[in-house]
Amino acid sequence: MKTLVVMNEKGGVGKTNIVAHAGWFFAEHHRTLVVDLDQQANLSTTLGAYLSPVETVDLFAEPTRVPPLGSLTVTRSTRELLGVEGVDRACIEVFRDSLKANGDDYDVCVVDTPPALTNRTFGALLAADAVIAPIGINDYSIQGIAELLRAIKGVSTHYGRPEPLFLGLLPSIYDRKSKRERELFEDLAGQAGKLLFPGVIAKRDAYAKAASDGEPVWMMKGSGAREAATEIRGVFGTVSERMGLGA
């Protein structure tokens, strides 16, 4: 099982949209597990049709299997996840072991992390094969990038494991019509350079509707949905290729 972690310490960067579409995309060809680590549970709401009886918090208590419900299965976020931050850090390794316990049942796991560097995020990084970081196109988009990269390296060093593949900074909710955002994007490209993922996810009404309707943009009608589908499927096609996931 290959594990993709979607993380950024800042909120409001489109993580829920990205993880939901990643789940839908990978489930077309792979047995896919999605883990919602964010206590806000927006992802669990969007992917409500695929929810497992297993709650995400259980994965930190003891190594836990999540029986597949079909091609896509989602562990449910609850407010109890906040309690993970007050327990012994051994829970980080327990979470890793929980994902290992599901290795025979799934081909891909996508993990949505909370907007903070917490036990939950460190558990995700310990289990990760690859990490992608959505970022907003604004004056603060590059703040925190160095800390994010230090966290990835620090977890790997502390636990004596190879660093996961860093797929890059994925510009998200990008308003191409905004002159200021275009200028900021060019500035970001100049500062972040090779850290940028080769693709963007634009600000589109179709993504908001997809979250509301609980279905991917490629199942929706209209030119806006078609453009969004081409865009986001291109992103995950690249992710799939770089993670070594066959069709």
Q: Is residue 247 part of a domain?
A: no
pTM: 0.93
- For 22, 151, 166, 189, 211, the CA distances from 97, given in Å and listed in that order, are 23, 20, 22, 37, 31
Number of compact structural domains in the chain: 1
Q: Is residue 39 part of a domain?
A: yes
By CB neighbour count within 10 A (0-12 exposed, 13-18 middle, 19+ buried), where does 102 fall?
buried
pLDDT at 107 over 90: yes
Q: CATH no. for residue 99?
A: 3.40.50.300
By CB neighbour count within 10 A (0-12 exposed, 13-18 middle, 19+ buried), where does 236 fall?
buried
Q: Is residue 222 part of a domain?
A: yes
Q: Is residue 55 part of a domain?
A: yes
| pLDDT for 36 | 97
Confidence category of residue 185, pLDDT binned at 50, 70, 90: confident
pLDDT digits over 205-246, tens only?
A: 999 999 999 999 999 999 999 999 999 999 999 999 999 997
Domain around 159: 2-242
pLDDT at 125 over 90: yes
pLDDT digits over 29-77, tens only?
A: 999 999 999 999 999 999 999 999 999 999 999 999 999 999 999 999 9
Is the model more confident about 8 or about 130? 130
